[in-house]
Amino acid sequence: MNRRRLGFLIALVFAAGIALAGCTLLQQPPIARFTASVLSGSSPLTVSFDATASSDPDGGALTYRWNFGDGTNANGATVSHTFTVTVKTTFTVTLRVTDPSGAIGTRSQSIEVFPGSLPGNNAPTARFTMTPSYGNTPLTVNFDASLSSDVDGTIASYGWNFGDDTTGSGKTISHTFTALVTTNYTVTLTVTDNHGGTATTTLVVTVMVPTSVPDDGPTASFTSSAPDKVYDSTDLPSVPSLFEVTFDPVASVAAPGHEIKSFVWSFGDGESATLTTDDPVTHTYASSAPSRTFVVTLTVIDDQGLSDSIAKNVTVIQ
């Protein structure tokens, strides 16, 4: 190869290198973008992050690296992280995206986390109903927490503990109880409002296991007091009056040689209660009508799994 031709080839290779270097210099860095499900809340605060809107102008595939500002990191286009604090803290969450060439783009967002419930927040009220409240194993019970409320916000979550080492979540939920012997399960509802305030309440589910074919069972009986108006509303019908009634099941009896294990009350307004003693129980009724009648039912269950029920009317008058 003559020198002239060799020189031409060297010049051609050198020019191609310059052209490739120029292409590298013209490559654009990726663009980092992400959204957060919430920007503030009470500890523990779980936040979902989504960086799928990030992009590379050159069309390359991106890798994602998160720094949550609390000493922890994560990878992936979508991630969740729980922030826990004992004092008010602002965390700076940083996303770093990298394209195939190694170019980097970043984006940051502040997340404010408060210790527990926000100052000045009113706690929510936890209430629920269940149907049925007793029965033979296996017993499926439907729970409804729609009566729960929050005066200065909204209910953000509903957590259930069924008393048999199982849990659940949701405003309405069903659960099946099984038992080897007749068992009272204490079901606990915990509600959390949108500012971190919590409240709990409990009811008892009786799951029965008949062990024999007995000859006779218990007899249900109860007395009720006259309705006592404890709040006289001046803004009917939008705000109801409140009435208290006390029910006493002491006259209920078991068959000779047996004892009553459960006293199950249905108050006729969607609420119920289960007691293991014959103590009196006081219930509050709300009514906006001039007169309203509620059908109250007592069911007693003995140690044989046998039951008896009695119903009476309770009428409240404005």
Cis amide leading into 132 (omega within 30): yes
In CATH, what class is 121-209?
mainly beta
C-alpha 305, offset from chain centre: 33
- Is pLDDT larger for residue 26 or for residue 221? 221
Q: What's the confidence (pLDDT) of residue 318?
A: 84
Q: What's the confidence (pLDDT) of residue 23?
A: 43
- Structure token digits, residue 182: 């007749």
Residue 2 confidence class, pLDDT cut points 50, 70, 90: low
What CA–CA distances, in Å, run from 118 to 70, 157, 193?
Answer: 21, 16, 10
Query: What residues have CB less than 8 Å from 26, skipping those under 6 apart?
Result: none
Q: What's the confidence (pLDDT) of residue 69?
A: 95
Does the pLDDT at position 280 exceed 80? yes
Residue 254 confidence class, pLDDT cut points 50, 70, 90: very high
In CATH, what class is 29-114?
mainly beta
In CATH, what class is 214-318?
mainly beta
**Which segments of the chain belong to CATH 2.60.40.10?**
29-114, 121-209, 214-318
- Structure token digits, residue 11: 């010049």
Q: What is the mean pLDDT of residues 99-127?
A: 84
